[in-house]
Amino acid sequence: MAPEPFTGSTTPVEVTHHILSVLVENKAGVLSRVAGLFSRRGFNIYSLAVAPADESERFSRITIVVDAASAPIAQVVGQLNKLINVVEIRDMAPGEADERELLLATVQADEASRDSLLEHVGDAGASVIDFSATAVTVSLAGTPSAIDAFEAFLVGHDHAVEIQRTGRVALPRLNPSA
Amino acid sequence: MKITGAQALIKALESQGTEVIFGLPGGAILPVYDPIIDSTIRHVLVRHEQGAGHMAEGYAQATGRPGVAMVTSGPGATNIVTPIANAYMDSIPLVVITGQVASGSIGTDAFQECDITGITMGITKHNWLIKDASEIAEVIAQAFYVATTGRPGPVLVDFPKDVAQSEVEWIDPPAPEDLDLPGYHPQLEGDHESIMAAVALLSAAERPVLYVGGGVLKAEASGELQRLAELVGAPVVTTLMARGALPDSHELNIGMPGMHGNYTAIMAIQESDLLVSLGARFDDRVTGKIDAFAPDAKVIHVDIDPAEIGKVRRPDVAIIGDAKQVIAALADAADGVEQSDLTAWWETLHGWQARYPLTYDAQEPGAPLRPQAVVEALAANSPADTIVVAGVGQHQMWAAQHWSYEHPHTWINSGGAGTMGYAVPAAIGAKVGRPEKTVWAIDGDGCFQMTAQELVTARTEQIPIKVAILNNSYLGMVRQWQEMFYDERYSEVYLSTDIPNYVMWAEAMGCVGIRVDTPEEVLPAIEKANAINDRPVVIDFRTDAAEKVFPMVPSGLSNSEVVVHPSQQGGA
């Protein structure tokens, strides 16, 4: 496993977030139903990721990171459960979930700066997936805090041209702990 | 044998037991109106799509069966959005069919196109866009099942014109338990341990109140409620949505709580040590300032909707289930359990009732009519099972306060949404569902002007409702707030004393119109109206514009700060 040299970054969302893993029927408009529910009830979404959950593509899984300070999590789950297309909800508190996220970044890298940048990229466990004479595109999959730290490095060193994050996906931890 | 999608839709509605559709045709829904000619279903042709929706709601509230409305795409669909929102707030089972432009035109800004499933997503239990005629039977079956089970509510089915025109082999829809709804499983039976915990709290309580909401009527649980109340001897309050769930004349019924409830019902909740919420949702109009609501009460919350539990007030015991089943289980469990002595509690309640009854200034000869006296005269001269339907405002509160409701489903109004203009069309729907009953709409002049055109529908479709307008020439409730909270600065609330001429308007719509200015004219007018059964009747009661609704809990204040009638104020 790649080391995680850029630790120590915490954001407010780490304190109050819950992860809802929501299994939905893969019907037209289902994402709109979920997103609309959050906005009209005043629940805040921190990130959201969607993909088919089975081979038949009958169901999709929506992983929602909820700002639990915006509403009691039981109320969020209760209202979500009322959506007819929502089949199952798993609510994971911080510490109960294995979370991963993917980051892509295009970074300025001329000949003078490229070596030092690539060294940091390698230290972070990120990989180069594209390059040109003046820039490289790198990717990093990791825990949200590792992604946060890597993003902070890129932004702080004024290298980044464009950064894209996917939002988190998560599964329950096999050995839950604090 | 193949049939058209339009025929399949009508057949599907028939197979769900639909006896009447309230609707108005137009381009996109046109194919569906052809097989209606051959159907057993009655179609009531409305004059505005909002009327269709409210009629379907009135029908549903009077009968307990789902109301069905059908309209065309675009403006037809948007005109029925208000009734859908109303049904969502008041948990009324409503099935709305909207025509849609042909599938290939969706998304092109076609003539009379609008995204009605998108628009109604937040105000329906669910909605569907049918994409293929083979889906019709099952989607309609799902629509009725979702609308009528669990916490009832509105659903919408959007039906593109090309699907209506295509051909399909009819296949009977699956039985309800076999419908493809993997995410929908209403819980009906209450958890046994929670029921035992609730009974333990109930038997030990010294100042309990049964707080009964509209869910008890939806579940047809009046009998179970009466049994439970009599077993424990606790006072019962019936909210605006639950009037008639327990007869008003029942000795345990202490009336309506809330912003314009009676003093005893309001204070009983405030001073209670146990609040048993049955199919109620702690609406802000009942709780007043939530932080100061029933501060000493433990709460038992019974609701079929898990999301209501803890939404407003954290309960000590929560029971998710159907009110009929849960109340029956509570009564079974409470039967034979020794209850606390409630004598002291009842002495307090009876003391409040004696000191702060509902009251109003007596009718003076020659003075404008007291609206409360008009309501009482209507009640005294109508059958006990008369269905009363109200709009929204002062007249609604007086109708809720001054009519004694002795039967379930005899009081119909717009509670959560507060939809002005509800009374006339909802009364028409109620009369269609219960043609044998007298139906009185008690309306305000502001409300009446919003939907009165449906009296044309009532006349032409032979639906003889009666309408009592409590006409004070004002938007009276807003006027009351401006008088009490805006230093009597009346802004845009005066309508007119002589325009419209309600008698002429009623007669132009084929109804009988009567105007009443003096107390002596009240009874003869009511008797005349009650004797007419071949057409609608409208009575224009000219009432005192200065009259206000009391008691009143001013918005945002604690229920303990309830303002009683001026004659009862002071010297406490």
Percent of chain B scored above 90 by pLDDT?
A: 98
Size of interface A-B (CB pairs under 8 A): 45
Domain boundaries, chain B: 2-178, 192-355, 371-542
Looking at the fold, whether A19 and A60 belong to one and the same domain comes out as yes
Summarize pLDDT for A88-144 with one digit per residue, the tens: 999 998 788 999 999 999 998 888 888 888 898 999 999 999 999 899 999 999 999
Confidence of residue A12 (pLDDT cuts 50, 70, 90): very low
Looking at the fold, whether A32 and A59 belong to one and the same domain comes out as yes
Position A54 scores a pLDDT of 86
Residue A4 placed within a domain: no
CATH architecture label of B2-178: 3-Layer(aba) Sandwich (3.40)
Q: Are A84 and B183 in contact (CB under 8 A)?
A: yes
- Closest alpha carbon to B555 in B239, B290, B275: B290
Looking at the fold, whether A31 and A84 belong to one and the same domain comes out as yes
Indicate the number of domains in chain A. Answer: 2
Position A14 scores a pLDDT of 52
Question: What is chain B's Cα-based Rg?
Answer: 24
Q: Are B244 and B409 in contact (CB under 8 A)?
A: yes
Q: Report the distance separating Cα B214 and Cα B285, nearest Å.
A: 14
Cβ neighbours of B121 in A, within 8 Å = 29, 32-33, 36
Residue B200 exposed, middle or buried by CB count within 10 Å (0-12, 13-18, 19+): middle
Q: Report the distance separating Cα B423 and Cα B439, nearest Å.
A: 11
| Strand pairing category for B298-303 and B317-320 | parallel
Confidence of residue A6 (pLDDT cuts 50, 70, 90): very low
CA dihedral B142, B144, B149, B150 (to 10 degrees): 70
Indicate yes or no: CB of B182 within 8 angstroms of CB of A75. no
Residues of A with CB under 8 A from a CB of B: 24-25, 28-29, 32-33, 36-37, 40, 72, 74-75, 78-79, 81-88
The domain containing residue A80 runs over which residues?
12-96
In the annotation, is B111 catalytic? yes
Catalytic residue among B14, B112, B437, B453: B112
Cβ neighbours of A60 in B, within 8 Å = none
Looking at the fold, whether A82 and A151 belong to one and the same domain comes out as no
| Strand pairing category for A97-108 and A160-165 | antiparallel
Q: What is the CATH number of the domain that holds A20?
A: 3.30.70.260
* Least confident residue range of A77-86, A164-173, B26-35: A164-173
Catalytic residue among B2, B111, B561, B569: B111
Q: Hey, is B370 helix, strand or coil?
A: coil
Looking at the fold, whether A24 and A73 belong to one and the same domain comes out as yes
Phi, psi dihedrals of residue B323, rounded to the nearest 5°: -55, -40
Looking at the fold, whether A21 and A90 belong to one and the same domain comes out as yes
Looking at the fold, whether A85 and A111 belong to one and the same domain comes out as no
In the annotation, is B298 catalytic? no
Q: Report the distance separating Cα B53 and Cα B47, nearest Å.
A: 11
Summarize pLDDT for B235-268 with one digit per residue, the tens: 999 999 999 999 999 999 999 999 999 999 999 9
- Closest alpha carbon to B15 in B41, B42, B35, B37: B41
Percent of chain A scored above 70 by pLDDT?
A: 90
Nearest beta carbon to residue A86 from set B146, B183, B310: B183
Position A177 scores a pLDDT of 63
Confidence of residue A20 (pLDDT cuts 50, 70, 90): very high
Indicate yes or no: CB of A78 within 8 angstroms of CB of B183. no
Position A68 scores a pLDDT of 82
Q: Are B413 and B240 in contact (CB under 8 A)?
A: yes
Is the pLDDT score of B154 beyond 60? yes
Residue A1 placed within a domain: no
Task: Encode burial over B155-168: b for 16+ CB neighbours within 10 A, e otherwise.
Answer: bbbbbbbbbbebeb
Q: Hey, is B43 helix, strand or coil?
A: strand
Which among A81, A96, A111 is the end of a domain?
A96
Looking at the fold, whether A131 and A168 belong to one and the same domain comes out as yes
pTM for this entry? 0.95
Position A155 scores a pLDDT of 87
In the annotation, is B437 catalytic? no
Position A115 scores a pLDDT of 87
Summarize pLDDT for B518-562 with one digit per residue, the tens: 999 999 999 999 999 999 999 999 999 999 999 999 999 999 999
Query: Long-range contacts: B321-324, Cβ < 8 Å, 24+?
Result: B321/B187, B321/B188, B321/B189, B321/B190, B321/B191, B322/B186, B322/B188, B322/B189, B322/B219, B323/B215, B323/B216, B323/B218, B323/B219, B323/B221, B323/B224, B323/B278, B323/B279, B324/B219, B324/B220, B324/B221, B324/B224
Q: Report the distance separating Cα B542 and Cα B501, nearest Å.
A: 12
Q: What is the CATH number of the domain that holds A134?
A: 3.30.70.1150
Which among A57, A76, A96 is the end of a domain?
A96
How close, in Å, is residue B27 to chain A by CA atoms? 25
* Average pLDDT in chain B: 97
Position A13 scores a pLDDT of 46
Phi, psi dihedrals of residue B499, rounded to the nearest 5°: -125, 125
Catalytic residue among B161, B218, B298, B548: B161
Cβ neighbours of B181 in A, within 8 Å = 84
Q: Are B84 and B124 in contact (CB under 8 A)?
A: yes
Looking at the fold, whether A113 and A56 belong to one and the same domain comes out as no
Looking at the fold, whether A85 and A160 belong to one and the same domain comes out as no
Confidence of residue A15 (pLDDT cuts 50, 70, 90): low
- Closest alpha carbon to B24 in B87, B79, B89: B79
Q: Report the distance separating Cα B62 and Cα B68, nearest Å.
A: 14
Cβ neighbours of B309 in A, within 8 Å = 78
Q: Are B317 and B301 in contact (CB under 8 A)?
A: yes
- Closest alpha carbon to B456 in B536, B514, B530: B536
Residue A3 placed within a domain: no
Summarize pLDDT for B183-239 with one digit per residue, the tens: 999 999 999 999 999 999 999 999 999 999 999 999 999 999 999 999 999 999 999
Indicate yes or no: CB of A29 within 8 angstroms of CB of B118. yes
Q: Give Cα B487 distance to the centre of its chain.
A: 33
State which residue of chain A sits closest to B306, comparing Cα positions.
A78
Looking at the fold, whether A130 and A91 belong to one and the same domain comes out as no
Q: Which CATH entry fits the domain spanning B192-355: 3.30.230.70, 3.40.50.1220, 3.90.78.10, 3.90.850.10?
A: 3.40.50.1220
Which among A96, A128, A152 is the end of a domain?
A96
Retrieve residue A114's tokens.
């490229």
Q: Report the distance separating Cα B157 and Cα B494, nearest Å.
A: 41
Cβ neighbours of B117 in A, within 8 Å = 29
Looking at the fold, whether A90 and A158 belong to one and the same domain comes out as no
Q: Report the distance separating Cα B191 and Cα B329, nearest Å.
A: 10
Summarize pLDDT for B446-505 with one digit per residue, the tens: 999 999 999 999 999 999 999 999 999 999 999 999 999 999 999 999 999 999 999 999
Confidence of residue B439 (pLDDT cuts 50, 70, 90): very high
Is the pLDDT score of A3 beyond 80? no
Q: What letter would DSSP give residue B191?
A: P
- Which of B121, B135, B142 would best serve as a mutation to test chain A binding (most A beta carbons within 10 A)? B121
How close, in Å, is residue A117 to chain B by CA atoms? 47
**CB atoms < 10 A from the CB of B355, how many?**
12
Residue A106 placed within a domain: yes
Fold of B371-542: Rossmann fold (3.40.50)
Indicate yes or no: CB of A32 within 8 angstroms of CB of B126. no
Cβ neighbours of B307 in A, within 8 Å = 75, 78-79, 81-82
User: Which stretches within B342-393 are classed as H helix?
Assistant: 343-355, 371-380
Nearest beta carbon to residue A84 from set B122, B183, B308: B183
